[in-house]
Chains A and B, each alone.
Chain A
Amino acid sequence: MNIYMIGVGGQGLITTSNLIGAAATSRGVKALTSETHGLSQRGGSVDVHVRLGDVNSPLIPLGGADLVIAFELLEAFRAAPYINENTKIIVNSRLIRPPTPRLRLPRAEELINKLGAIRNVKIIDAFNAAVKLGNPIVENMVLLGAAHAAGLSSAIDEGAIIEAIRSTMRMPELNVRAFEVGINLVNNY
């Protein structure tokens, strides 16, 4: 299974991919993840390639994603080269303005409509779900839960991810709750 994750530096993509990798490894499923490092701390775009199963190389081929997790609305469009007609796509409806001065952007609703028109897209408000849980930092776990319900579950069971959260994260219970909220958002979509 190929999972393409894209977002903005600081949104916790690498933490999320590490959890998937640790959970897969604990179940004997081979996982390779590859991240673009370096300048990501400074607010740039970040993507992580996650590959599960019988794979050797770390990068997803073009059109080869089974699942896309877009952590941010504008960044979602940058996943286009990896999407095919069967790709399941989770999009966070949050828009983070690029810091370029005087940049003109389409309205968020317009972008959401464009994305909503393609197949297999689920657009969720992970940021506000996280705020409701008491801490915007768990936005990534809401997205992970949504991705799990959207297809990741066929590779890794829920229990493995929860164990990985409990054994590696600070505030494990809050993160587990956010993960479950994400699952429900998709199941009730």
Chain B
Amino acid sequence: MTCGKRFMLGNHAIAQGFLEAGVSVAMGYPGTPSSEIMEYLIEKGEELGVYAEWSSNEKVALEGAYGAAMTGARAIATMKHVGLNVGMDPLMSSAYTGVEGGLAIVTADDPGMWSSQNEQDNRWVGLHAYIPVLEPYDPANAKELARIAIEFSEKMRHPVLFRTVTRVSHTRGPVDVCDGKPPVFGKGIDRTKKRFALVPANARKLKAELVGRWAKIEEEVEELPVTVEEGDPGLLVITSGSAFAYVMDSIKELEVSPTVINLSVPVPVQRKKVLDLATKASKIVVIEEGDPVVETQVKAALFDEGIKVPVLGKSNFVPPVGELSLDITNSVLAGAMSIEAPHRRGVNLGYEPPQRPPVFCPGCPHAASYYELKLASTTSRVKPLFSGDIGCYSLGINSPFDEEDVLTDMGSSLGVGMGIHRGTNGKSFVVSIIGDSTFFHSGLPALASAIYNKTPLLLIVLDNRTTAMTGGQPNPTQAIPIEEAVRGLGVRNVYSMDPFNVREAVNTMRNAIDAVKRGEPAVVVSKRACALEAARKLRREGVEPLIYSVVEDACKACGICYNMIACPAIQPKDDGRAWIDPNSCVGCSVCAQVCPYDAIKPSGNLDWIKRWGEAL
């Protein structure tokens, strides 16, 4: 086996660890900070013969990996932390039945909510579901632990959760990369045993077995790695995951030497290892990324053993909100030892720059759709309540659009939208806005419900042909025309539109609004490839570009282009006239269509727009 050191992204290291463990089946749904794991497996797994796919949602991905592991294969499913909520149903069952091969479910948690709606700590799920959790502290460790996770799962014939966080997944560091193993596929399922058929009679038996297996797992995790830094036995610091990295740097900076133990398994805690050290300690500090998951278990273990020692942790001493940092671990350790933490604060540069919020990209088809939706609803004299969803288009909450009133979770535009309609006894005019990937993820069952229950609502599917938010992964829209899917579900009022044809788009939306006014559900599919993905692809293919520019004298400084579509390529000059940055414009033509003075003109080949329409 040949190995070599490479500078590598944490998520790639995780994926590499799974390849080196002989994983044969990998399924996932994109979500920051998890997506690069599956991207790597799709790219690098191919030559090894690994089957890797983007599934339509996390439940489907988890079931796929679970099914593969039933047959004896080594399988993984990947998702972000909130994705695991969608996968909970099969997850709970997988603990009851166990697996024949290996099954690791990767959950990428996002403390600090860099790109998420919450910072749930999925290590709790391990306790809830009787599934052990492994947690790495840096990219190199992540690769090792990914391999160990699969091996442990296969040994115990039980699923494992692999919990990473943003600062492991999106940190790059040196990783020892070795050759991948040939993938281990399964042999099949023994039909005579019905082991995987959770009818109640079976499930009752399996619950008893599960409890027994969990006791075994509690013993066996003691064989999995812990890292101990010997120091003053009086102060014991217990860490898990990335907390270990911060604590090691803090100890160096503070020049202190407590005893530190890092647990690779936060659930169930490696109890014997902890208790060995705890008996010698007069104070224990537990530092972990997220909630007091380890702390709670450690306290229970101490209680069981009758050991009375103060325990500081997330529940009482470490800030419970947001992610850890060196500054936090410095002050936690210094506080626990009653010494001074270093005071460094930065400097005052005498100016507070304005925020730079994320915005729709230049030429983003969502921006055009939102502009058109606003125009259509105003001219149709409806005052919609906008029920939004998870994706780039959630930026429609910002001015000038202001067309996202509620958005809570994947697919909620329809479910919550129906609830708003019913909750107001039909008085709200609800427009649900969903993207293509989210539509296939969890919009379909909700739409079926709306149709069956005759809920009049307008559904706008912003079909940009890709899962753009997470970096442009493919999804079922590339194989299944959404209009046909919706017609198949029995919607009569189905419309297609191109957001880059402003006049027609507004008319189409008005027709759809009329249908809803008649009390029928209506669906508009607004189809145009993501500007980033399309422009990248067309440039690579050498398609002659198109950009737009403002004719100085013709511009009357009305501001419609830069205030209403808010394309970031268009900027107002000091006199209010528009200026288009030729380095940013991607030639969508929308500004030229909305300018009432015909002051915006193309240069280049108009064929660009047609090719864009066929790009994805």
Contacts and interface: CB of A to CB of B under 8 A. Distances in A.
Contact of B7 (A25, A97, A136): A25
Given A62-B344, A77-B353, A98-B356, A57 B32 contact: no
Contact of A111 (B33, B248, B351): B351
Interface stretch (A78-86, A151-159, A171-179): A78-86
Contact of B351 (A31, A58, A101, A114): A114
A22 B7 CA distance: 6
Contacts of A188: none
A25 to B, nearest CB: 4
Nearest to B174: A25
Nearest to A19: B7
A44 B562 CA distance: 18
Interface stretch (B68-76, B299-307, B392-400, B507-515): B392-400
A17 B173 CA distance: 11
Contact of A42 (B327, B345, B350, B359): B359
Contact of A61 (B32, B170, B327, B358): B327
A57 B563 contact: no
Interface string B230-270: 00000000000010111011000000000000000000000
A167 to B, nearest CB: 12
Given A31-B174, A43-B568, A80 B361 contact: no
Contact of A30 (B33, B174, B326, B355): B174
Contacts of A76: 349
A119 B566 CA distance: 39
B114 A100 contact: no
A59 B167 contact: yes
A60 B325 CA distance: 8
B245 A74 contact: no
Nearest to B400: A101
Contact of B347 (A42, A74, A80): A80
A81 B571 contact: no
For A40, A56, A62, A75, which residue has the most chain B Cβ atoms within 10 angstroms?
A56
Interface string B4-38: 01110000000000000000000000001100000
A80 to B, nearest CB: 5
A169 interface: no
A39 B33 contact: no
Nearest to A103: B354
A15 interface: no
A77 to B, nearest CB: 5
Given A31-B7, A32-B171, A62-B345, A101 B357 contact: no
B346 A82 contact: yes
A60 B609 CA distance: 45
B283 to A, nearest CB: 23
Contacts of A56: 138, 244-246, 248-249
B547 to A, nearest CB: 15
Contacts of A17: 172
A61 to B, nearest CB: 4
Given A99-B566, A101-B399, A80 B349 contact: yes
A67 to B, nearest CB: 15
Contacts of B117: none
Contact of A59 (B325, B348, B568): B325
For A9, A85, A99, which residue has the most chain B Cβ atoms within 10 angstroms?
A99
Nearest to B115: A38
Nearest to B330: A61
Given A18-B172, A57-B246, A81-B346, A42 B392 contact: yes
B245 A57 contact: yes
Interface in A20-67: 21-22, 24-25, 30-45, 55-64
For B346, B349, B361, B571, which residue has the most chain A Cβ atoms within 10 angstroms?
B349
Nearest to A61: B326
Contacts of A30: 173-174
A21 B172 contact: yes
Contacts of B392: 42
A57 to B, nearest CB: 4
A43 B532 CA distance: 12
For B6, B242, B358, which residue has the most chain A Cβ atoms within 10 angstroms?
B358
B167 A42 contact: no
Interface string B333-377: 000000000001111111111111111110000000000000000
A165 B445 CA distance: 50
A115 B358 contact: no
A133 to B, nearest CB: 16
A42 B173 contact: no
A8 interface: yes
A100 B354 contact: yes
Nearest to B559: A101
Contacts of B330: 61
Contact of B566 (A25, A31, A35, A101): A101
Given A18-B172, A59-B326, A41 B344 contact: no
Given A83-B347, A101-B563, A41 B249 contact: no
A61 B325 CA distance: 7
A103 B583 CA distance: 21
Nearest to A121: B349
Given A42-B358, A75-B353, A101-B562, A32 B138 contact: yes
Given A30-B174, A99-B359, A99-B568, A58 B347 contact: no
A76 B353 CA distance: 9
For A31, A101, A115, which residue has the most chain B Cβ atoms within 10 angstroms?
A101
A115 B348 CA distance: 10
B361 A41 contact: yes
Contact of A37 (B138, B170, B246, B583): B170
Contacts of A25: 5-7, 174
A138 B149 CA distance: 42
Contacts of B5: 25
A40 B246 CA distance: 25
A156 to B, nearest CB: 12
Nearest to A25: B7
B259 to A, nearest CB: 17
5 contacts: A21-B7, A37-B32, A77-B352, A80-B348, A84-B344
- 7 nearest A-B residue pairs (beta carbon): A63-B344, A38-B115, A81-B346, A42-B358, A57-B245, A39-B358, A44-B358
Given A44-B356, A61-B344, 12 more contacts: A21-B7, A30-B173, A34-B167, A39-B358, A57-B248, A77-B352, A78-B353, A80-B346, A80-B349, A84-B346, A101-B572, A118-B347
Interface of A: 8-9, 17-18, 21-22, 24-25, 30-45, 55-64, 74-78, 80-85, 97-103, 105-106, 111, 114-115, 118, 136
